Amino acid sequence: HVTPQTACTLFEASDIVKTSEEELDLLLEWYGLPPLQEGELPGRSGQQLPVLKDLLNRGRPKQLLCTYGSKGPAMVTASGQCLAYAPARPVTDIIDTVGAGDAFSACAIDRLIKGCPPDHVLNDANGFASQICRIRGAVPSTQKSQTLYQPWQLWQERNAP
């Protein structure tokens, strides 16, 4: 378990922060900021979110990536502007959600490093995380689960520097 002080220290020292909706609620609470209301959740590019601007200006984060579960992920800049939003990808055959957040983060970081547009970052990371939910555990161990990686490996090969 991470203490609020440790979480806030790490938050303030980060350039890019990825949270879940629940983690974002905790950060807002720890900084004494009001929670986002249902209608304020990022859902369109260009939307202004003053409370997230206040949060991000508590440290050096330039961007916040937040996963909102069935509502999809969003990317918000330090100015509080929703830079991109991706609708959730329905997964009808969920087996296990272990590793989905890590998969989202890994793919998003990869796409950000490669300079992909924000909407591509979110769509790809969202897609990869949804595929991870179709296997048991965070690390595939069967041939069936290995095939889930094939589209992402092909993307890597096509887009290698």
Show Cβ contacts of residue 152 under 8 Å, excluding neighbours closer than 6 positions. 107, 128
pTM across the whole model:
0.83
- Pairwise CA distance, residues 12 & 105, whole Å: 18
Give the end-to-end CA distance of the chain in Å, rounded to a whole number.
Answer: 39
**Whether the predicted pLDDT of 5 surpasses 90:** yes
Nearest to 66 by CA among 14, 128, 4, 108: 108
The 10s digit of each residue's pLDDT in 35-53 is 988 777 766 777 888 999 9
Q: Are 49 and 40 in contact (CB under 8 A)?
A: yes
Question: Tokens 């965070």 correspond to what residue?
Answer: 138
The 10s digit of each residue's pLDDT in 98-155 is 888 899 999 999 999 999 999 999 999 998 888 888 887 766 666 665 676 677 676 6
**Whether the predicted pLDDT of 70 surpasses 90:** no
